[in-house]
Chain A
């Protein structure tokens, strides 16, 4: 009887789906960079999570007779300067960089978004102070802070994470603050205020959920950035201590043998590149979408204003 009841989107939404099919639907409806990135990231994550079981050799087991061997049937990616299996080291070596990057991204995302949203919503002096702090911190490269802190406290998880989060929250804060200003002017915020909702409730229930899409886009872009930074720090000897494997460390160790066994350098470099490319593509795909959604929202609002 009612035409609107036949709305196909609603029935699709309400239909029960298996999580796998749900994920597939979620990914397949997105920009191609998002799809390609998801595939790459999924591969890297599977590799990193199951490394312990998949790795053909013990990543720390030395075999000095068979050192610097080229790729062969036994060692698919050859062996390094101590005769360790490169493939095994590559698989296990991702754990450190990916874990550190993921933890820092999550911490910075939460802290940065909250600071940004509160500053944007409160406005005035609080907003001004928060944004000047962001300006100040954003001008310092995080590698400099990392080198300083690791020099003082030594290389360990906590120091690394701290040094990456100290500055890492600033892009989120800046983005979330801008989005909040925009969302704050939207009608549904007024609708919530009219019904007597508290400031904190409006922030958590209506502002934060509406910032998630663009913030997620940035967080994936930053994830790629963090992977490279962590790799760089390890390369400089400020990350994992040998004999534990790590992509950046592997590259550092490969340097003297660049001519004899270039694969030692190329393999970890390529993996860092692919992992970073994967997350960056995801972020890029999300960003394109949210930009589209925001411009659509603006035109809607403009039409509403004219009407």
Chain B
């Protein structure tokens, strides 16, 4: 009976639930300002934004590996109902790699140049699964094969400088998946790779998700990979989520002018004046905005509808529901949706 209750509870509780997360510099500057994010089981969520919007800081905060200068000042990160923010270092170490793993942008520099592939992929197996050296190395060969590395027994004895970028990222995926985590945080996992290799790596991540019931938080600035890969998208700007919802709806008809502009930029098709679309200004000053919408200074919609100016510049909109599991932070959601499909 108790067993039954446990499973029911596990299904209803999302895998990861971030509530009102705030991350600040020691100097007091807030980089992530009240972030809410939910990741369900087997769900792929993409966190999208320009550089400096706080995507990577979010990734590091979720595994509690922020650099010394950054602090989580408030909020909670619940993983399977347990608050990560309150955990001690040794509890976190037991979780990292075993429950939550991470992938990074530069796979080649993620591998220690002085140790062989097998030693590094075996680390989580030996630590979290308690395998001996020999067993772990045997398992590594299987893992390397499963991530599509040809000749895995030979590759296992290679050093990082003997691997191409795509190979190295496959090795990192093998290491990240070795101890069977439930959540994989992938911080720009394909940005440093060739386009053809990018597709292979993304396909591999999808396979891993099917095989291991994995949830993935994909952090990227590349919208082209989002629509093919993610179930839901969260658009981040200046430390806030501006829009969050199902990928298909958002990519077709976004409810926030910023998302709309981002998608138009990524399409790389000329606008009516023959130029490529770009968003004027930069997001780096937006963190300093205290009153009104953080995107207001760069918002074309506000410029087109002068009636919005007072509201947009004086009061920050809340994250309001637009549709089912779809929220947007804009005073003029109706006007945005009215503009129709994005492409």
Binding site for B on A (CB under 8 A): 1-2, 4-5, 7, 9-10, 13-14, 186-188, 190-198, 201, 205-206, 209-210, 212, 300-301, 304, 307
Contact = CB atoms under 8 A, between A and B. Distances in A.
B112 A210 contact: yes
B96 A187 contact: no
A188 B164 contact: no
B211 to A, nearest CB: 19
Contacts of B120: 191-192
A2 B114 CA distance: 25
A209 B162 contact: no
Contacts of A196: 92-98, 124, 127-128
Top-10 shortest CB links A-B:
A196-B96, A195-B97, A196-B97, A209-B114, A194-B102, A191-B110, A188-B112, A187-B109, A196-B93, A304-B106
Interface in B202-216: none
Tell me the interface secondary structure of chain A in the complex: helix
B58 interface: no
Interface of B: 63, 65, 92-98, 101-102, 104-106, 109-115, 119-120, 123-124, 127-128, 150-151, 154, 157-159, 162-164, 167, 172, 175-176, 178-179, 191-192
Contacts of B111: 188, 191
A195 B124 contact: yes
B93 to A, nearest CB: 4
A212 B123 CA distance: 21
Contacts of B106: 187, 304, 307
B63 A194 contact: yes
A196 B95 CA distance: 7
Contact of A307 (B101, B115, B192): B192
Given A4-B167, A196-B95, A307-B192, A190 B65 contact: yes
Given A2-B150, A195-B127, A196-B128, A188 B109 contact: yes
A194 B128 CA distance: 13
Nearest to B121: A195
Q: Which of B94, B109, B157 has the most CB of A within 10 A?
A: B109
Contacts of B158: 10, 13
A209 B96 contact: no
B104 A209 contact: no
15 contacts: A1-B150, A2-B151, A10-B162, A13-B158, A14-B154, A196-B92, A196-B96, A196-B98, A197-B93, A198-B93, A206-B114, A209-B112, A304-B106, A304-B192, A307-B192
Contacts of A1: 150
A187 B103 CA distance: 11
Nearest to A2: B150
A14 B119 CA distance: 16
Nearest to B160: A188
Contacts of A301: 109
Contact of B104 (A187, A192, A198): A187
Nearest to B92: A196
B214 to A, nearest CB: 16
Nearest to B93: A196
Contacts of B63: 194
Nearest to A198: B93
A307 to B, nearest CB: 6
Contacts of B176: 194-195
Contact of B115 (A194, A198, A206): A206
B109 A304 contact: yes
B233 to A, nearest CB: 24
A4 B164 contact: yes
A194 B64 CA distance: 9
A300 B109 contact: yes
B157 A14 contact: yes
A126 to B, nearest CB: 15
Given A4-B150, A197-B93, 13 more contacts: A5-B150, A13-B157, A188-B109, A188-B113, A190-B110, A191-B120, A194-B65, A194-B102, A195-B179, A196-B97, A205-B123, A206-B112, A307-B105
Contacts of B113: 188, 210
B96 A188 contact: no
Contacts of A307: 105-106, 191-192
B95 A7 contact: no
Contacts of A7: 162
A304 B162 CA distance: 18
Contacts of A14: 154, 157
Contacts of B124: 195-196
Contacts of A187: 104, 106, 109-110
Given A196-B93, A209-B112, A304-B109, A191 B192 contact: no
A194 B172 CA distance: 11
Contacts of B164: 4
A10 B154 contact: yes
B141 to A, nearest CB: 15
Contacts of B151: 2, 5
B172 A191 contact: yes
Contacts of B96: 193-196
Given A4-B167, A7-B162, A195 B112 contact: no
B151 to A, nearest CB: 6
A209 B115 contact: yes
Contacts of B167: 4
Contacts of A188: 109-113
Contacts of B104: 187, 190-191
Contacts of B110: 187-188, 190-191
Contacts of B123: 192, 195, 197, 201, 205
Q: Which of B97, B164, B179 has the most CB of A within 10 A?
A: B97
A9 B163 CA distance: 11
Q: Which of B102, B113, B114 has the most CB of A within 10 A?
A: B114
